[in-house]
């Protein structure tokens, strides 16, 4: 993909459905009783991996594009898959599904692509094992492939060392099969889509502070789910509208869950002209339309409690920092090292190639902005968030930028380039 500077981005865009909510709709719909109907489901490769895995376990799932129907078989209705459950590139599928599998009456193997086979699974293996699960890393390296043999599980209280919705969700989903109360306390509250959807399906769950507590129930009930637009996908248009001169973009129907809205706060802290309109509640999730206009940005510090609310947006925030006056510091974000790529190293490598003054640190990066980046050959490392971030950077940079491995955006946003270029003037 080769991209050049544009003279402005104007118009309206609707981003795909939220990735996190789409994943959870498949999983909870599969173990609920009745038919769950999901509108605005994200047709990205990661979410399709979730569908494929639960189909392998005997769940009939109709995928008609915008509407997905999951014919749930109840908490104990999954069947042993004949083959390895292939999660593709999806860490969410791998980790959350492991929590469900831990309490089944069969054994299976869970594996994914090369990226998944290098991502840390000890973070779920430890708490699930404390619950009585039999989960082992076949290569004995704390990564996939995993062999999971279903067991009778026990409720635990787990003090998680990381604020991770994937870790928390794996434990809570396993807790559906436990013999007593299960609770998870995080250092900082991570995204809470699992808790909200469990509650809507009839789960006995409550949240207080950074602790979520679940009591097992005999059944979950199917729901109609309307998935809001994914704020992590909207983030690229928010950044593009702010850094490309002459831009004004209206982003429709975006989820603004307070455990996910850190991107909005950082844009405002950098002096961005960004506003929320038509704020409303849709199926228990707060939703708004977001309006962004080109702005003169300045540096800021991104750290502490806000990090879990924007962990996936940090690459595009680093791009915004390159176009902002002054220094931006990102810290407390060591989690970036264990995403689809080491996003600290990859952002430093690629922004440096564009002439940006960036210094990687152990838990983030320091970016000195103020000069216009120039085009470069960008290595995406097959990380969708890297590819999308540098597509945005290219629109406001001198010369031409080439993104190697640009098709990886299909993981979360198959029509990204089309939607972005449709706004160009």
Active site residues: 312
Paired tokens of 296: 């003169």
Alpha-carbon span 131 to 117, nearest angstrom: 24
Q: Is the dihedral of CA 414, 279, 211, 205 positive or negative?
A: negative
Alpha-carbon span 317 to 267, nearest angstrom: 8
Q: Are 246 and 7 in contact (CB under 8 A)?
A: yes
Paired tokens of 371: 């000069």
Backbone dihedral region for residue 105 (phi beyond 0: left; psi -120 to 50: alpha; all else: beta): alpha
Paired tokens of 400: 């031409």
* N-term to C-term CA, the chain: 19
Mapping DSSP to helix (H, G, I), strand (E, B) and coil, where does residue 283 land?
coil
Paired tokens of 390: 């540098």
Greatest distance between any 2 Cα atoms in the chain:
62
- Say how far residue 354 (Cα) sits from the centre of its chain: 27
Going by the DSSP 8-state scheme, the letter that residue 406 receives in this structure is G
Neighbours of 66 (CB within 10 A): 12
Alpha-carbon span 72 to 30, nearest angstrom: 4
- Say how far residue 60 (Cα) sits from the centre of its chain: 25
Which of these, 320, 194, 204, lies nearest to 260 by C-alpha position? Answer: 194
In the beta sheet, which residues pair with residue 11? 249
* Residue 147 parent element (H or E): strand 146-149
Which of these, 250, 228, 243, lies nearest to 422 by C-alpha position? Answer: 250
């Amino acid at each position: 993909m080769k991209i050049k500077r544009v003279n402005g981005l104007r118009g309206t865009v609707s981003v795909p459905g939220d990735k996190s909510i789409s994943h959870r709709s498949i999983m909870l719909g599969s173990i609920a009783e009745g038919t769950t109907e999901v509108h605005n489901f994200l047709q990205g490769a990661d979410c399709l991996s979730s569908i494929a895995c639960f189909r392998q376990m005997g769940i009939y799932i109709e995928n008609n594009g915008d509407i997905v129907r999951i014919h749930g078989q109840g908490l104990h209705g999954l069947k042993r898959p004949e083959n390895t459950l292939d999660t593709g590139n999806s860490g969410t599928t791998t980790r959350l599904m492991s929590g469900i599998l831990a309490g089944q009456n069969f054994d299976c193997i869970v594996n994914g692509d090369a990226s998944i086979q290098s991502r840390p699974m000890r973070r779920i293996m430890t708490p699930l094992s404390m619950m009585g699960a039999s989960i082992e890393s076949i290569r004995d390296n704390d990564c996939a492939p995993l062999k999971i043999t279903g067991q009778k599980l026990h409720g635990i209280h787990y003090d998680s060392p990381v604020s991770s919705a994937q870790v928390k969700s794996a434990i809570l989903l396993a807790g559906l099969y436990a013999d007593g109360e299960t609770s998870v306390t995080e250092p900082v509250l991570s995204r809470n889509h699992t808790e909200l959807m469990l509650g809507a399906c009839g789960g006995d769950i409550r949240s207080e502070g950074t602790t979520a507590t679940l009591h097992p129930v005999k059944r979950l009930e199917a729901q109609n789910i309307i998935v809001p637009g994914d704020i992590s996908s909207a983030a690229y248009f928010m950044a593009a509208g702010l850094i490309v001169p002459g831009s004004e973009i209206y982003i429709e129907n975006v989820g603004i869950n307070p455990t996910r809205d850190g991107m909005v706060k950082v844009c405002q802290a950098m002096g961005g002209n960004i506003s929320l309109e038509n704020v409303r509640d849709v199926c228990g999730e707060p939703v708004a339309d977001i309006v962004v206009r080109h702005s003169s940005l300045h540096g800021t510090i991104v750290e502490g409690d806000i990090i879990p609310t924007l962990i996936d947006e940090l690459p595009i925030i680093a791009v915004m920092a390159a176009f902002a006056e002054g220094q931006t510091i990102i810290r407390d974000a060591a989690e970036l090292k264990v995403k689809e790529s080491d996003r600290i190293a990859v952002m430093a490598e690629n922004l440096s190639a564009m002439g940006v003054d960036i210094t990687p640190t152990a838990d983030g990066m320091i970016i000195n902005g103020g000069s216009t980046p120039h085009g470069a050959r960008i290595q995406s490392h097959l990380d969708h968030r890297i590819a999308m971030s540098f597509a945005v950077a290219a629109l406001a940079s001198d010369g031409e930028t080439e993104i190697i491995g640009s098709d990886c955006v299909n993981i979360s946003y198959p029509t990204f380039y089309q939607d972005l270029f449709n706004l160009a003037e």
